[in-house]
Amino acid sequence: MIDDTELAVRPPRWRRYGVRLIGVVLFAAVLASVDLRQVWDSISRISLDALVEALGLLVLLLLLKCGRWFLLLTWSGIPQSVAESVDVYADSIFWGMITPGRLGELKRTLYLKRRHTIPLVRGSALWLVDQGFDILALIAILVAASLAQPEVLGRALPVEAAWGAAAVLAASLVLRNGFLRLLRLSTSHTGRFRYLVDEATRDLLNIGHGRFLILFAMSSGAMLAYVGMVIALSADLPIALSIAQQMTAVPLVMASALLPISYFNFGSRELVLTGVFALYGHGFADAISYSFVFVLCYLLVIPVSVLLSRLGRFLG
C-alpha cells in the first residue's frame, strides 16, 4: 500500500508546465486555423429556446451526478448530507472545467480527508469509481447508437465491433469485475493508480450489484442529458449532422476530455471531431464550428455548477 503523503506528491514542475504548454500550443493551433467571425456567426444563430432547453438538461445532468456521488459515499459508509454532496460535487465540477484533464475534480477527495478524515487513497479511489461510471455510460451510449442504426453509424464503429463492445459492456454490468478491468485499463500507465483500483474494488464489492446498476443508470441519464445539450445547441447551426451521427460524435468527444494534454479541451476535441466529421463527408471548418458548441456547454456548466454549489452550501 501507499500512504497519503506519497499519493499527494505533486508531479515534477517540468511535467506540470509541459502539460500546460502542450495545451496552449493546441489551443493556439486551433485558433490560428479557423475564422472566428464565421464561428461567431454560427454560434449567434442559437435560439433562446435552445439555450433554455440546454440549461434544463444541464441542471438534470448535474443533479444526477451529485446524486450519484451522494449514493456512492452513503453506500460506502461515508456519512454526507444531500446538500453537502451537491455543494462539494458541483464545486469540484467547476474546478474540473478549468483544469487540464478535469484534474480539478480531485478537490472533493481533499474535502473528504479534511471534513471526514477519509484517507486520500480511499477518497481518490471513490473519485476513480465515479469517473469510471461516466466512461462506462459513454461506451453504452456509443454502442447502443451503433447497434440501433448501423447504416448511419457503421463507419464510425463497425457493427461487428459494436456487438463485441456490447458483449463486454454486458459482462461489465452482470459481473462488476468487468467494470474493474475497465478501471485497471484506464490506469495501467501508472503503478500508483493501480493501488487506487484495489481500493475501489473493495468499495464496489461492498456496494452490491443492485446498487451498482442504479449508479450506472444515473450515469447513463447524466451522459444522455449532456448529449441532449449538444444536440439542442447545434440544432440551429448550418451543419448537416443528423442526431444519429451526433450520438457517435458526442460520446467520443466527451471521452477525449479525459486527456490531460489539452487546455479547455481544445486540441484533443478538435482532433476527434475532425475524424468523425471526415467519416460523414464534412470538412475541418464544420468540425471546428461544431466544437465551439462544446465550449458553449462548458461556459454554461461553470456558472450553473457554482450556483448549485452555493445552493447546496446554503441548504446545508
Lowest mean pLDDT among 6-15, 45-54, 141-150, 238-247: 6-15
Domain membership flag for residue 23: no
**Residues in contact with 215: Cβ distance below 8 Å, sequence separation at least 6, in sequence order:** 68, 71, 72, 133, 207
Three-state SS sequence of the chain: CCCHHHHHCCCCHHHHHHHHHHHHHHHHHHHHCCCHHHHHHHHCCCCHHHHHHHHHHHHHHHHHHHHHHHHHHHHCCCCCCHHHHHHHHHHHHHHHHCCHHHHHHHHHHHHHHHHHCCCHHHHHHHHHHHHHHHHHHHHHHHHHHHHHCHHHHCCCCCHHHHHHHHHHHHHHHHCHHHHHHHHHHHCCCCHHHHHHHHHHHHHHHHHCHHHHHHHHHHHHHHHHHHHHHHHHHHCCCCCCCCHHHHHHHHHHHHHHCCCCCCECCECHHHHHHHHHHHHCCCCHHHHHHHHHHHHHHHHHHHHHHHHHHHHHHHHC
Domain membership flag for residue 149: yes
Read off the pLDDT of residues 17-33 as tens digits, 9 standing for 90 and up: 565 566 566 666 666 66
Q: What percent of the chain has pLDDT over 90?
A: 12
pLDDT at position 109, please?
Answer: 87
CA distance 113 to 120: 6
**Domain span holding position 91:** 36-315
Domain membership flag for residue 283: yes
Query: Which of 165-179, 198-212, 225-239 is the most confident on average?
Result: 225-239
Give the sign of the dihedral formed by CA 26, CA 32, CA 34, CA 37: positive
How many other CB atoms sit within 10 Å of the CB of residue 25? Answer: 14
pLDDT average, residue stretch 181-193: 54
Using left for φ > 0, alpha for ψ between -120 and 50, and beta otherwise, residue 259 falls in beta
Please say whether the beta carbons of 39 and 289 come within 8 A.
yes
Is the pLDDT higher at 223 or at 203? 223
**Phi and psi, residue 108, nearest 5°:** -70, -20
Domain membership flag for residue 196: yes
Closest CA to 66 of 307, 272, 254: 307
Domain membership flag for residue 2: no
pLDDT average, residue stretch 34-49: 72
Domain membership flag for residue 61: yes
Residue 207 sits at the vertex; the CA angle it makes with 172 and 93, to the nearest 5 degrees, is 80
Domain membership flag for residue 98: yes
pLDDT at position 219, please?
Answer: 94
C-alpha grid cell, residue 275 = 475524424
Looking at the structure of the chain, the number of domains it has is 1
* Identity at 154, one-letter amino acid code: G
Read off the pLDDT of residues 215-225 as tens digits, 9 standing for 90 and up: 999 999 999 99
Domain membership flag for residue 223: yes
pLDDT at position 245, please?
Answer: 80
Q: How confident is the model at residue 3 (pLDDT cuts 50, 70, 90)?
A: very low
pLDDT at position 159, please?
Answer: 63
Please compute Rg for the chain using Cα positions.
20
Query: Which of 123-127, 201-205, 287-291 is the most confident on average?
Result: 123-127
Asked if pLDDT for residue 71 goes beyond 90, the answer is yes
